[in-house]
Every structure is written in structure tokens, then in C-alpha cells.
Chain A
Amino acid sequence: MKKPKLRELGEAIRALIGGPYTTKFPFAPSPAAKRFRGIMVFHEEKCIGCGACVEVCPANARELIDDLEKKTRKLTHIQERCIYCGQCETYCKWEALEHTQEYDLAQLTKEGYTNYIEKELVTCELCGEVITTKDQLLWIAKKVGELAYSNPTLTLILTQELGITEKIPERGEFVPYRSGHLRLLCPKCRRSVYLNEIWGY
């Protein structure tokens, strides 16, 4: 009975000398581990606005809204819905999303919880549908190399970006003839424009 208690006494003395085991968090910094998944930040310059992060998010913490009037794509990260699983960080090929080591989310106002980036959107000249963001078209053009010049949409975007043309010229009424195929067209309209040549209008 008496002997075993010595063991616990040793532990008690150790605790007495060592002081409290808990960290003094609010008064002293308590840094998180290197791999810790904390508050999420956007790197706007790296993002191309493809929306892969929205697809993989299990908690619907990310929203993608296309504004056709302003021609912008808004990618929103809603911090209070985020479950810090790191899926978007894993699947972002461009490292535009990053979990920081920050974990102190408590604040008095709701401001800053929802952060977003806006990307310029390219729409189809014929039907007005969304093609994709300008950055993603440029990325595709860069990836396929000279093959980009076989696609008028990519060519137009690329020449504008390279400063060859300042602005894509606005043309009046659009007739879906092959002669007018040098336009910004969505894949569906491009197909119909080419097929109209064969099938008649």
C-alpha cells in the first residue's frame, strides 16, 4: 500500500518543480506546427479562376459567381463554413491558395471573414455564354504553345495580351457565317458556325 504511493509522489514532485504543463497562450505566443492548416489566404496573381477549388470543397465554403453584366467571375472563400480540410490547397495546381499557420479566428466584427477575388470573364459574342476567365484562356494558350493560333478565341486573347491589338474590334450584327468566325466564341457556337458552312443556314 505504502510503496506504490511513492511512484505517485515522484510524479507530484515532478509536477511541482516543473510548474504548470499548460501553455500561457494569450500572454505568450504558441506557434502552430509547420503543416498546420489555419486561416486561408488567396494569391490573386497566381489564380487563374478555373474554379477547381469550388468543385472539391466538401463544405460548400467556396462560391463561384459569374457576373455577366460586369463580366467578372467572383471566387469567394467563406471562412466560417471552412472545415480546414486542405482539399482546395491540394487540388489548386497554381498554388494560389494557402493555409497559413494563423489559428486565432476570434474577432468582434464579421469583417474579413469572407475574402474574395475577381477575375475578368470572357463571354461568347454569339450566345453570351461564359467561356472562361481571361487568365485561364491565356494559361491554355501558353500550355498548347503554337497550337493556340489554330483557335481564333485563343488567338484573339493572346494578340490582345501581347499588345498586337489594343482592343478586340466590336462588330455590328453578328451573322453566324464562316466569314465571321474570327470572334470570341464558346465551343458550342464555334461548332455551329463551322457546321453552318456545310449544312446551310
Chain B
Amino acid sequence: MKTIIPVGPYHPLQAEPEFFKLEVEGEKVTGLEINIGYNHRGHEYLAQRKTYEQIIFLVERICGICSCSHPFASVNAVENLAGIEIPERAKYIRTIIGELERLHSHFLWVGLAGHFMGYNTLWMWFWRYREPILELFELITGNRNHYAMMKIGGVSKDIEDEDISSIQKTMNELEAKTVMFIKAILDDPVIAARLGGVGILTKEDAIKYGVLGPTARGSGVAIDVRKDDPYAAYDLVPWDIIVFEEGDLLAKAKVRLLECLESIKIIRGCLEQMRKGEIETKVEDIPPGEGIGRHEAPRGEVFHYVRSDGSNMPLRYKVRAPSYMNVPSNEVAVKGYDIADAILVLASVDPCYCCTERMATLYDGNKKLTGKDLLKLSWKKTEQLKKKFSHSENKLASLL
């Protein structure tokens, strides 16, 4: 017998609105229907009414966790459009900020994964060591989140010499801790049993669904914008892509954990190679044309498209976040596993719904509903339900 279990619109685990319809037979999941669109904020429309400098701060607020990846892709897009070459020091600073963000985002995910598994110690551990990264952000950029660091033609703030030593100190501490965590997670038999062989996304499916970032790299697809189409300083410092072939949850966790070490490597490389100099080039004006910008966010590739008519506002602005590609792959990854595992599989792609939702379809778009109308609709539906379940109404009436 087929049963449908609704998950959401308020997710039982994450504080973001999305709606999954799990079709189950007994304990086994046989199908999944994904419904998103509860969090549409009209960012693209807003972006078309702001200047290029203001857009950076708008797109920064698309996502709270990876609040540097959208501005990064945005400045890449505008620089691609206008053909701006940025100074070398700005490249290194951008890379450092991007990698620090990947570190704190992966720490957050692994911590949350521990929380979902019921391993709360892991959660507390990771979030405890995520804190120094956020403090580092406050020291360098002036804010724990929403750094306001990106600027068309460079970066808005320089990293000062006295901050470099504190970055290096934090990185040394963090590396020791990350190595310990990796060992602790990989040795743990409970984690291995809970994550190993669960939610397998095969390489074929990964390519078919076009998944990105750690989700793809966990399934043996070696794609990474930082290597495939280098920007900023990613081609100037040595680092490796982490790829695992298994495609299960453990592989995705391993990819993220080992990427933390790679991030530390990139940051160290940047700090070593960084020389004193200019941090921004002067931008004269934006010519008419089209530009694309990409950035490997912690969740995968962020893609921004901008079309200009030569004025200071874009004609069209398009944002595609990695979760848009990753979330549909849950359809195949979740099939055949238990309900308890399904929750972990849904969270394994590190979904970010506020990043994803760029479009909402309105049925009967001309109709405007006020609060009163909505109340009336609600009453109407209650009446309908009452008629449908009239026996329960009688029961209620007798109780009251």
C-alpha cells in the first residue's frame, strides 16, 4: 500500500520552507515529489532596479551562509562584461575570503549532519571550531557575515599585516582540529553504519541531473569551477580536487571534510604569495553587452548573468544557485531507503532554498488577495473539510 508522508512546507530539520512528498511503502521510500517556491523574494527584478555597485549588496543577501559566493559571481559577471582586469593583491584577497567561507560553510554542514544523525557532540564540536573563522571574518572584513568585501574592479578592504599573523595562527589551530575531526569521523563505526551505502547517487545519475559541487564530486564527477575555469587566484596557488567514487552520504561528507584541508592549503598559499600593492582598479563605465560570472560556492557552482545597455543599471540579471541543480537529484538518491535515512539524504546535498528560488508561478496573477480574502478562503476550506469529515464534527460538537 502506498502512503504519502508530507515533509514541510516547514522542514522538520531545517528552518527553511520547502515541501517534499515522500511516497512510502511500509518503511521504504518509493518516490519523491519536490515542491519549492515558498521563499521567492524577487531578487532578479530588484537587481534590475539597482546600480551595479548596489547589486553586490543585494545579491550578498540571497544567502546567509555563503554570503560571499553571490557577490563573487556578480563581480565576475560585471568584470567579464566590461573586460576589467583586477590587481593581483585583490585576486588573492578574494580567494582568501572565498575559501574562509567554504571552511565555515562545510563546518556548519558537518555539524548539522551530526545533529541530524543524533550525534550532538559532533555538532557542538564543529560549531565551536567554526567560531574562530567567524571571528576572523569580523577582524578582516568588519562583519561575521555579509562581509561587503567584493567590489567591481577589486576588493573594498585590504588585509592588514597584523591580521595576516592572526589568520595564520587560526589556520594552524584549525588544521590540527580538522585532521582530528576527520580521523574521529572516519573511525566512528556508528557514523560509518549510518552514512555508508545510504543515499547512493550513481555517476550516471549525477551527470544526468547535472549536480554540482561536493554532491557531484562525491559521485565521482570531477567538476570544479576553480579548476575548470580558473578565476581570482585559484590558478596561482597549488591545490587538488577531492573526488570520491562511492556516491553515498559518507563520500559526500568525506569530500567536504577533505576540502576543508584544501581550503586551508589555498589560504596559506595566498598569504605566502601575496605582495603589497593596489587592491582595486578604477572602473570607468560599463559598456553595453552581456557577461557571465561563475564561482565555486561551498555547495557548487553559482552562475550569474548580466546584460547591459550601457547605463548604470542592468537590463537583465539572472542568478542560478547550486541547490537548484542539486535538490532534484534527491528523487533518485532517496529511492529504496528507509524514511529515517531519507531525511539525511535530503539534507546531504546541503540545500539552500533561499538561494534556489528565483521564480514563482502565479495562478491567476492579476488577482490580489488581502488579509480578509485569505481569511475568507481559509473559512471556506474549513467548511469544505467539515462537510467531508462530518462525523468528526459531530464528535467535536459533543466534546465541546
Chain A residues close to B by CB (< 8 Å): 1, 4, 7-8, 11, 21, 32-37, 56-59, 83-87, 90, 99
Contacts and interface: CB of A to CB of B under 8 A. Distances in A.
Contact of B148 (A8, A11, A57, A86): A86
Interface string B129-173: 001000100111111001010000000110000000000000000
A4 B184 contact: yes
Contact of A4 (B138, B143, B183): B183
A99 B180 CA distance: 40
A59 B142 contact: no
A35 B141 contact: yes
Interface stretch (B54-62, B99-107, B381-389): B54-62
A85 B58 CA distance: 10
Contacts of B55: 58
Residue of A32, A36, A37, A85 with most partner-chain B CB within 10 A: A85
A4 B58 CA distance: 46
B142 A33 contact: yes
B187 A4 contact: yes
A147 B227 CA distance: 57
Contact of B146 (A7, A57, A84, A87): A84
Chain A interface, >50% SS class: loop
B189 interface: yes
A32 B180 contact: no
B285 interface: no
Contacts of B140: 35
A56 B143 contact: no
Interface string B45-69: 0000010011111101100000000
Contacts of A85: 57, 60, 146, 148
Interface in B166-221: 180, 183-184, 187-189
A4 B141 CA distance: 38
B53 A35 contact: no
A7 B121 CA distance: 13
Contacts of B141: 35
9 contacts: A4-B187, A4-B188, A7-B180, A7-B183, A11-B180, A37-B143, A83-B57, A84-B146, A90-B156
Contact of B142 (A8, A11, A37, A87): A37
Nearest to A36: B142
A21 B129 CA distance: 10
Contact of A7 (B58, B128, B184, B189): B184
B125 interface: yes
Contacts of B53: 56, 58, 87
Interface string B310-332: 00000000000000000000000
Given A32-B138, A33-B142, A87-B53, A8 B61 contact: no
B61 A83 contact: yes
Interface residues of B, number: 30
Contact of B138 (A11, A36, A57, A99): A36
A147 B142 CA distance: 42
Nearest to B57: A58
Contacts of A84: 143, 146, 148
Contacts of B146: 83-85
Interface string B380-399: 00000000000000000000
A7 B180 CA distance: 8
B139 A33 contact: yes
Contacts of A11: 125, 180
Nearest to B139: A33
A106 to B, nearest CB: 17
Contact of B50 (A34, A35, A58): A58
A84 B57 CA distance: 10
B86 to A, nearest CB: 18
A8 B188 CA distance: 11
A36 B183 contact: no
Contacts of A86: 142, 148, 156
Nearest to A21: B128
A161 B74 CA distance: 47
A135 B139 CA distance: 36
A29 B36 CA distance: 42
Interface in B284-328: none
Contacts of A34: 139
B142 A56 contact: no
Given A1-B189, A4-B184, A36 B54 contact: no
Given A33-B138, A85-B60, 4 more contacts: A58-B57, A84-B143, A86-B148, A87-B148
A58 B313 CA distance: 13
Contacts of A7: 180, 183-184
A193 B58 CA distance: 45
A1 B191 CA distance: 13
